Amino acid sequence: MRTRYKIIEKDGIYFVTSTIVEWMPIFTSQKYCDIIVESIKYCKTHKGLKLYAFVIMDNHIHLLTEAPELSATLTSFKKFTAKETLIS
């Protein structure tokens, strides 16, 4: 997934969009959506992610979120989901 974001305020709530390279519609499959949900759960439990809303579209996701280290948390989120998606 590719994202473009800039964290300006450490304690801010951010609207984050993350897209699939070349806009491939992989989230039409339940198993890939489950990977996203599991990654979100992990980040909530271990990274301090607070998630206010999210939507999974066919080729991208939107999050309304905050975390103590949001940039690092999003990096972990993307790294995990990319690996799991390639394995599946």
Query: How far, in Å, CA of 39 to CA of 43, rounded?
Result: 6
Joined tokens for residue 68: 């103590």
pTM: 0.84
Domain that holds residue 11: 2-87
| Position 20 confidence tier, pLDDT thresholds 50, 70, 90 | confident
Q: What is the phi-psi region of residue 4: left when phi exceeds 0, alpha when psi lies from -120 to 50, beta otherwise? A: beta
pLDDT tens-digit readout, 35-49:
999 999 999 999 999
59 by DSSP, 3-state: which?
A: coil
Q: Assign 5 a pLDDT band (cuts: 50, 70, 90).
A: low
Cα 20 from Cα 60, distance rounded (Å) = 6
Which CATH number fits the domain that encloses residue 46?
Answer: 3.30.70.1290
> In the chain, how many domains are there?
1
